[in-house]
Structure 1
Amino acid sequence: MASGWAKEGAVQEQIDSTVEDALKRARDQLPVGVSLTHCEECDAAIPEARREALPGVRLCVACQSELDKQQSVSGGYNRRGSKDSQLR
């Protein structure tokens, strides 16, 4: 169903693009390398189970939770909207 100036399937392409961007952002934030034994921020010990479950971990659970809260504040504004949708 094309609407206005948008080509067929443009809405689905926009949705797919938004999901791909979110996945890339999430993958880029995954830790890599050797896990630390102590948190970078507060120097608390990182449990071995956490280090094994998430290779490359650098923060304890409390510090990681706080970082996640700060990062979730950023909005999910889609900059790839078509000109047609911007003119409405």
Structure 2
Amino acid sequence: MATGWAGDGAVQDQIDATVKDGIKRARGQLRQGPGLTHCEECDTPIPEARRKAVAGVRLCISCQEAEDRERHAAGGYNRRGSKDSQLR
């Protein structure tokens, strides 16, 4: 199969590198160590079960949900760039 300038498997190599970079970035954002005993936003006590379950926890459940909603709303772009989304 003719591939032009790209060698065989170059596309798959690029996909693999992108996935590895994404995993590395996600792991770098994970918190480590002991969590806080009180939420850094509202100062509500964080239950011990949550501190054990989530390493480095800094927010109570309600503040974490609010942050997740905010982050989800801000990240509303199409990463795939599908043709369907480009036609809209």
Whether these two folds match at TM > 0.5 is yes
Tell me which residue corresponds to 1:21. Answer: 21
Tell me which residue corresponds to 1:39. Answer: 39
CA 1:75–1:13 in 2, change beyond 3 Å: closer, same or farther? Answer: farther
Structure 2: gaps (5+ residues) = 80-88
Tell me which residue corresponds to 2:68. Answer: 68
Tell me which residue corresponds to 2:9. Answer: 9
Secondary structure of the 2:45 match is coil
Structure 1: gaps (5+ residues) = 78-88
Output the aligned Cα RMSD. Answer: 2.4
- TM-score normalised by L of structure 2: 0.69
Secondary structure of the 1:58 match is coil
Q: Which has the higher contact order (CA 8 A, sep 6+)?
A: 1
- The size of the alignment, in residue pairs, is 78
Instruction: Give the percent of matched residue pairs that are identical in Structure 1 and Structure 2.
Output: 58
Q: Which amino acid aligns with 1:35?
A: G
Q: Which amino acid aligns with 2:16?
A: D
